[in-house]
Amino acid sequence: MPTLYAWAGGAEALARLTECFYARVRTDALLGPVFERMSAQHPSHVALFLGEVLGGPRAYSEAHGGHPGMLRHHLERHLTEAQRRRWTDLLLDSANEVELPSDPEFRSAFVAYVEWGSRLAVINSQPGASVTLDGPMPTWGWGVPGGPYRPET
């Protein structure tokens, strides 16, 4: 059974996804100001993080502080639901633009993670939020469909 990471196209596909995504973010009226001080490496770091969650190599854990490292970037950012919704919209638009697999099985698993992670980012970003930093890196799987799309033969 392939991982979601392998099915997506691996590191190269996720790097294309985040380059496309943050290009959109930079020029977006709602999100541009939120990300105006992000580093040049931000897109590649998020690609590594997504790759690890989707079952790829432990690259973010090994070099960028793992799940606690990611969580810390969101603390006290005061993110709003409107910003979160735009973030997920632009990410899914980018998934279409860079042609991540469009089968129902992959996309439903991908959207499930994006909804989960983005909602937690908003919760964790609220003033004084109590955030558990020592939790494990989440690993997402195929969920109820159980595996990638296979056309009937």
The residues that touch ligand HEM, with contacts defined as CB under 6 A, are 34-35, 37-39, 41-42, 45-46, 49-50, 64, 70, 73-74, 77, 79, 83-84, 87, 114, 117-118, 121
CB of 150 to ligand HEM, least distance (A): 27
CB of 132 to ligand HEM, least distance (A): 16
CB of 152 to ligand HEM, least distance (A): 33
Q: Which is nearer to ligand HEM, 7 or 87 (CB)?
A: 87
d(CA 74, CA 82): 16
Angle at 37 between CA 32 and CA 39, to 5 degrees: 110
d(CA 21, CA 1): 28
45 assigned ligand-binding residue: yes
Task: Give me 113's structure tokens.
Answer: 């993670």
Q: Which is nearer to ligand HEM, 39 or 130 (CB)?
A: 39
Angle at 95 between CA 70 and CA 144, to 5 degrees: 80
Other beta carbons within 10 Å of 84: 21
Residues of the binding site: 45
